[in-house]
Chain A
Amino acid sequence: MAGKIMNKKHFLNHVAGQLGRERIMDTVERPEWKHQPQWNVLKDASQDELVDILKEQCKSIHTEVLETNKEQLSSTIQDMIKDNGGGQVVTWDDPRFQDFQVNLETQEDLNIHVWDPRLGDENIRITEQANLGITFSDITLAESGTVVLFSDAGKGRSVSLLPSTYIAIIPKNTIVPRMTQAAEMIEEKVANGEQVASCVNFISGPSNSADIEMNLIVGVHGPIKATYIIVDD
């Protein structure tokens, strides 16, 4: 259902008046910017070079990186869970777990909750108590060590936020140079009539703060630890 817009006409007429003209009623063409340095960053880097840049950047954002292949992914994740003390694990309901032959739910020694929209707020209650949250990355930015997550019914926002440790699975082909490419992909989707997800998260490592005497504290409201697993696909 569409929302309401209140007090617009008066407000915008006044703004236009201050600019010494009438309200703009036609479409404004956004000009081609004279300067566009953003497209030159890592322009010629190969996919392997992007992986190296991503790994290097993760050193400065307190994020551990593991590399594995499709065959090893399931056991790599299980080892990760055990290394982090096990406990409650929450994952997205994402077809990519099937595509990559990751079947965590069938493992009897693991306590896995798969995000299920039919359970409503119960998902949040479980996730809030969870030790680990696991999601795939939808787009990955090499320059800043960022995983980009689009929310959806099976892809709750809380999975990457509430547990103490966050694990992102990064298929190698999701890696692009920087945020420039991600923004362009989103604009292309919109131009094709698709809706942008209600929440797009650009996540670069664990939460942190420097609010106390400029000391970096890793782990404030969000995860205290973040790990990326890059999968060669």
Chain B
Amino acid sequence: MSMKIGAEKFDERVQEGLSDTFMRGAVSSAQTRFRNGRLNAAEELGGWEEWRNLGEEIRTHTLENIDYYLDLLSEKVAERGGHVYFAQTAEEANNYITNVVKKKEAKKIAKSKSMVSEEIGLNDALKDIGAEVVETDLGEWILQNDDVDPPSHIVTPALHKNREQIREVFHDKLGYSKTDKPEELALFAREKLREEFLDADIGITGCNFAVADTGTVTLVTNEGNARMVTSLPDTQITVMGMERVAPTWNDMEVLVSLLTRAAVGQKLTSYITSLTGVKEEDDVDGPEEFHLVIVDNGRSKILGTEFQSALHCIRCAACINVCPVYRHIGGHAYGSIYPGPIGAVLTPLLGGYEDHKELPYASSLCGACTEACPVKIPLHELLIRHREKIVEEKGEAPVFENISMKAFGMGTASPTMYNIGTKLAPKVMKPMVKDEVISKGVGPLKSWTTARDFPAPGKQRFRDWYKKRQREES
């Protein structure tokens, strides 16, 4: 897998999402629960706006000085016996990691959840050299066993699957014979994956936050798989997007507090695991060898631009959980492992407009995402900026917008045309009006009304009403 998922066109992906009834039900109930969880946790904490301001302050300062903090991080990791590789591209990162695997002659690799490893297509690179990779996050393991179905949410990746489908995957691929009760399914995963943890030669993890001043990688999890992956195998490889760095433990602590509340409404997840370098001399468990791979893969292009704040993202999915568009079309429709508002901002920046130019339009610009973001990324404003750039640079606004804007321009440019146009509108549109709205438009209105209703033009124009009122008053 890489960042881009699926080969279908945007419209087709959206239609597929809209017609998946189970997925839409699952997404809307998940959104409601996540959203309520976040709001309750924020209210219980108190002063949430102050917390958001602090989050924004920390992230802004860190990104402005990111070369300094990455330098410090790498020095501190090396002091504690870890190797650090700076990878500018996905290819460089994959080459480095596959070389470590080859050198260790590793057969089995246990992996805990990492979005950046999906982004760079690490699993495919490892498969190509003949290594067996086992995803150990429950959701990721389900997807991997279902012929590598892509994730549809960055926190609960298998959100689009129901328990019958999961039972079927376990039954067909792993010989599972019990019911579709979530507890039984999870117990099966526990037993199967225990063997994998004990058997693995190498553990691979992502990184939620890396503390620069001590060289510490922090992992935020609930299941305990990241702890397994970093306690049992002899070699640990951690892959991080370069923007995951935080100056100190004090800052990491604040970001973790924001993340767990904004993501799932928890005060802290079951496990926050902070790992520094290799295990110490007398330690029994923990890795003897540790590699930290710091990945750019297009992120540096965003630095110094008006989109820099997109790199402040702490991957909580709060914006995804409030987005009305995500609610209806689901994660796969975005065609990227990063869905929802942050995905619509980030994906075109990392992957280019060519493949992802529709994404900034997959938004109603209601601003719920901006309001939900725990580090105050102005997401809907960045989406507008994307649209402006797409038009400026490429002249590539959607066809409907071009025609209707031209007609609007013509109609409003001369007083006579405006007068005629507004007078005619109710008559021209009358055949399409039903119950005061137009739900099946023709011509340029058609694209609008496939997704929502258009209000019928008023019977009386504002100007006529105003004139009449003035006459009556005088």
- Seen from chain A, the residues whose Cβ lies within 8 Å of a Cβ on chain B are 1-8, 10-12, 14-16, 18-20, 23-24, 28, 30-31, 33-38, 40-41, 57, 61, 115, 117, 119-121, 123-124, 128, 141, 143-146, 151-153, 156-158, 161, 178-180, 182-184, 186-187, 190, 195-215, 217, 219-223
Interface contact B267-A4, CB-CB below 8 Å: no
Is the CB of B279 closer than 8 A to any CB of chain A? yes
Given known contacts A144-B268, A202-B272, is B83 in contact with A41 (CB within 8 Å)?
no
Is the CB of B3 closer than 8 A to any CB of chain A? no
Q: Which residues of A contact B68 (CB under 8 A)?
A: 24, 28
Question: Which of A4, A40, A161, A179 has a CB less than 8 Å from the CB of B228?
Answer: A161
Give 19 A-B contacts (CB < 8 Å), ordered by A residue. Answer: A3-B80, A4-B83, A5-B74, A19-B67, A19-B303, A24-B68, A128-B194, A157-B285, A183-B249, A186-B214, A195-B276, A199-B276, A201-B274, A204-B269, A210-B222, A211-B139, A212-B138, A213-B182, A214-B30
Interface residues in B33-81 (C-beta closer than 8 Å to A): 33, 45-47, 50-51, 53-54, 57-58, 61, 64-71, 74-75, 77-81
Interface contact A6-B276, CB-CB below 8 Å: no
Is the CB of B201 closer than 8 A to any CB of chain A? no
Chain A: CB-nearest residue to B85 = A6
Nearest 10 A/B pairs, CB to CB: A222-B224, A153-B282, A11-B86, A211-B139, A207-B224, A202-B272, A183-B253, A144-B267, A221-B224, A37-B50
Distance of A66 from chain B, by nearest CB (Å): 20
Interface contact B257-A38, CB-CB below 8 Å: yes
Interface contact B253-A182, CB-CB below 8 Å: yes
Interface contact A23-B223, CB-CB below 8 Å: no
Distance of A113 from chain B, by nearest CB (Å): 12
State the CA gap A38–B267 with chains docked (Å): 13
Question: Which of A1, A24, A205 has a CB less than 8 Å from the CB of B65?
Answer: A24
- Stretch in contact with the other chain, from B115-123, B184-192, B417-425: B184-192
Chain A: CB-nearest residue to B308 = A19
Q: Which of A35, A123, A186 has the most CB of B within 10 A?
A: A35
Given known contacts A4-B78, A18-B303, is B190 in contact with A219 (CB within 8 Å)?
yes
State the CA gap A195–B69 with chains docked (Å): 19
- Seen from chain B, the residues whose Cβ lies within 8 Å of a Cβ on chain A are 26, 29-30, 33, 45-47, 50-51, 53-54, 57-58, 61, 64-71, 74-75, 77-88, 92, 96, 136-139, 142, 156-159, 162-163, 166, 182-183, 185-186, 189-190, 193-194, 197-198, 213-214, 216, 222-225, 227-228, 230-232, 242, 247-254, 256-257, 264, 266-280, 282-286, 290, 294, 296, 300-301, 303-304
Q: Which residues of A contact B267 (CB under 8 A)?
A: 57, 143-145, 204
Chain B: CB-nearest residue to A160 = B227
CB contacts between A and B, total, < 8 Å: 300
State the CA gap A18–B298 with chains docked (Å): 11
State the CA gap A179–B250 with chains docked (Å): 9
Q: Which residues of A contact B296 (CB under 8 A)?
A: 11, 14-15
Interface contact A190-B186, CB-CB below 8 Å: no
State the CA gap A184–B71 with chains docked (Å): 23
State the CA gap A210–B30 with chains docked (Å): 10
Q: Which residues of A contact B250 (CB under 8 A)?
A: 180, 183-184, 187
Q: Which residues of B contact A1 (CB under 8 A)?
A: 81
Interface contact A19-B64, CB-CB below 8 Å: yes
Chain B: CB-nearest residue to A119 = B284
State the CA gap A117–B282 with chains docked (Å): 6
Q: Which residues of B contact A117 (CB under 8 A)?
A: 282-284
State the CA gap A2–B277 with chains docked (Å): 10
State the CA gap A157–B283 with chains docked (Å): 9
Interface contact B279-A8, CB-CB below 8 Å: no
State the CA gap A186–B136 with chains docked (Å): 30
Question: Which of A35, A187, A198 has a CB less than 8 Å from the CB of B53?
Answer: A35
Known: A190-B214, A198-B277. 11 other contacts (CB 8 A): A12-B71, A14-B300, A33-B58, A37-B47, A57-B267, A121-B284, A158-B232, A158-B285, A200-B274, A212-B166, A220-B224
Distance of A219 from chain B, by nearest CB (Å): 7
Interface contact B30-A3, CB-CB below 8 Å: no
Q: Which residues of A contact B74 (CB under 8 A)?
A: 5, 8
Given known contacts A211-B158, A212-B182, is B253 in contact with A24 (CB within 8 Å)?
no
